[in-house]
């Protein structure tokens, strides 16, 4: 969990700065905005209606988040080895689930007067101080195998779409189960093209290595891998643990970067770090260090936050945007330079979104 002494120390620093300067600490006025490529805040471990998300975003200077609804969650289970498919949805059930969840999210957005990010101008308005939501889906299963269903989803506000998740789908193969297509399907390829044409950001996370390569071949706009981590090899469904299956290979990360895209690093915090992932539970400093390490491997223009808040069970290093602000504070103390911290905190996700969104 969070280390209380850290909070106390930061509070003390803020108080001392206030006493010394006779005004608010400079950071309180000019802090870098935060943008998160992958968040389930209020969806799994909190109730959305009283989650406090909107107030927390405003308090912590969060410009916008990709708020990822999870249509397939009802048909998955979590075990010690990871998340797996536990049931098969009937025809129309994924679409119905998507519609219901989207309705709840839009009601919250309206009630809390958050800005829905639909255009590049909305991105700028959020960077200038408003708090916004990018309506996003984790898995395109809800399209029920029909690319033409993307149009009504776009009309209803969807702007960031992850192709696959944890259940077998007509779209293509994913990292955590044996392949059935041995590729991205023809429908999956058409979906990448349709997203590019329509102005929806394509998110490759959870895709098998082969499916990711095919999406990268077909794409005519920058893509993201919103959450996960980068290792020398791509994870496979035969790996022992879920977090190993979810590895993105450095070669794939570099391909995403070469196309102008961005890789989001998740906030996974393991009780027993190791096997390549160094971040322990509640360890915001180690999360910041992993972000900095990834900058060294794929460049400052291609690393972003993809916290996966509420998507990691109890294995989290960050569970609130106050924790994420703490991560940014650690980055700021690392001599990376302000420009690099800004790119990680919000700049890179903003750039790809603006490249894809229509005005
Ligand atoms: Zn995920």
Confidence (pLDDT) at 22: 40
H helices of 88-208, in order, are 93-111, 120-127, 150-155, 186-198
SS3 for 47-101, per residue? CHHHCCHHHHHHHHCEEEEEEEECCCHHHEEEECCEEEECCCCCCCHHHHHHHHH
Q: Tens digits of per-residue pLDDT, 219-269?
A: 999 999 999 999 999 999 999 999 999 999 999 999 999 999 999 999 999
Predicted pLDDT of residue 244? 96
Q: How far is the CA of 173 from the centre of ligand 1 (A)?
A: 14
pLDDT above 80: residue 27:
no
230 forms beta bridges with 248
The predicted-structure confidence for 215-227, as pLDDT tens digits, reads as follows 999 999 999 999 9
* Residue 216: Cβ-neighbour burial (10 angstroms; 0-12, 13-18, 19+): buried
Provide the 10 A C-beta neighbour count for residue 306: 28
Which domains, ranges and CATH numbers included, belong to the chain? 31-356 (3.20.20.140)
What confidence score (pLDDT) does residue 116 get?
98
What pLDDT shows up at residue 5? 52
State the distance from the centre of ligand 1 to the C-alpha of 51, rounded, in angstroms: 20
Distance 248 CA to ligand 1 centre (A): 12
Average pLDDT, the chain: 92
Ligand 1 center from residue 166 Cα (angstroms): 8
Residue 1: pLDDT band with limits 50, 70, 90: very low
- Whether residue 118 is predicted with pLDDT greater than 50 in this model: the reply is yes
Cross-strand partners of 66: 134
If pLDDT is split at 50, 70 and 90, which confidence band does 339 have?
very high
| pLDDT reported for residue 7 | 54
Q: How would DSSP label each residue in 237-284?
A: TTSSSHHHHTEEEHHHHHHHHHTT-EEEEP-B-BSS-BTTB-PBTT-H
How many angstroms does the Cα of residue 311 sit away from the middle of ligand 1? 7
* Cα 165 to middle of ligand 1, angstroms: 7
206 Cα: distance to centroid of ligand 1 (angstroms)? 7
**pLDDT of 29 over the 90 cut:** no
Q: How many whole angstroms from 27 Cα to the centroid of ligand 1?
A: 32
Which pLDDT band, with edges at 50, 70 and 90, does 8 fall under? low
Average pLDDT over residues 43-50: 96
Q: How far is the CA of 204 from the centre of ligand 1 (A)?
A: 10
Q: Is the pLDDT of residue 123 over 90?
A: yes
For ligand 1, the distance from its centroid to the CA atom of residue 285, given in whole angstroms, is 22
Q: Residue 10's pLDDT is what?
A: 54
- How far, in Å, from the CA of 123 to the mean position of ligand 1? 23
């Amino acid at each position: 969990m969070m280390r209380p002494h850290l909070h106390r120390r930061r509070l003390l620093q803020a108080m001392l700065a206030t006493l010394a300067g006779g005004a608010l600490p400079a950071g309180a006025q000019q802090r870098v905005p935060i943008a998160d490529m992958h968040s389930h805040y209020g969806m799994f471990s909190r109730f959305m209606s009283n989650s406090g998300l909107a107030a927390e975003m405003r308090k912590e200077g969060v410009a916008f988040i990709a708020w990822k609804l999870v249509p397939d969650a009802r048909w998955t289970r979590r075990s010690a080895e990871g998340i797996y498919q536990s049931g098969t949805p009937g025809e129309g059930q994924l679409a119905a689930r998507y519609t219901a969840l989207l309705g709840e999210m839009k009601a919250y957005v309206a009630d809390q007067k958050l800005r829905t990010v639909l255009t590049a101008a909305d991105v700028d308005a959020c960077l200038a101080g408003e708090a916004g939501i990018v309506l996003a889906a984790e898995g395109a299963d809800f399209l029920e195998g029909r690319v033409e269903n993307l149009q009504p989803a776009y009309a209803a506000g969807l702007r960031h779409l992850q192709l696959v998740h944890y259940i077998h789908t007509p779209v293509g193969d994913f990292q955590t189960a044996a392949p059935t297509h041995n590729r991205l399907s023809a429908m999956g390829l058409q979906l990448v093209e349709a997203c590019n044409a329509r102005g929806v950001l394509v998110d490759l996370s959870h895709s098998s290595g082969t499916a990711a390569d095919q999406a990268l071949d077909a794409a005519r706009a920058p893509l993201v891998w919103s959450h996960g981590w980068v290792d020398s090899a791509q994870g496979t469904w035969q790996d022992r643990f879920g977090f190993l299956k979810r590895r993105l290979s450095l070669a794939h990360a570099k391909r995403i970067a070469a196309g102008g895209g961005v890789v989001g690093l998740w906030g996974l915090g393991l009780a027993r770090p190791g096997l390549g992932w160094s971040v322990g539970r509640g360890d915001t400093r180690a999360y910041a260090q992993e972000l900095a390490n990834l900058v060294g491997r794929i460049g400052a223009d291609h690393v972003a936050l993809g916290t996966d808040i509420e998507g990691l069970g109890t294995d989290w290093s960050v569970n609130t945007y106050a924790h994420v602000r703490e991560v940014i504070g650690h980055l700021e103390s690392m001599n990376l330079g302000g420009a690099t911290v800004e790119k990680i905190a919000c700049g890179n996700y903003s750039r790809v979104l603006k490249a894809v969104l229509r005005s």
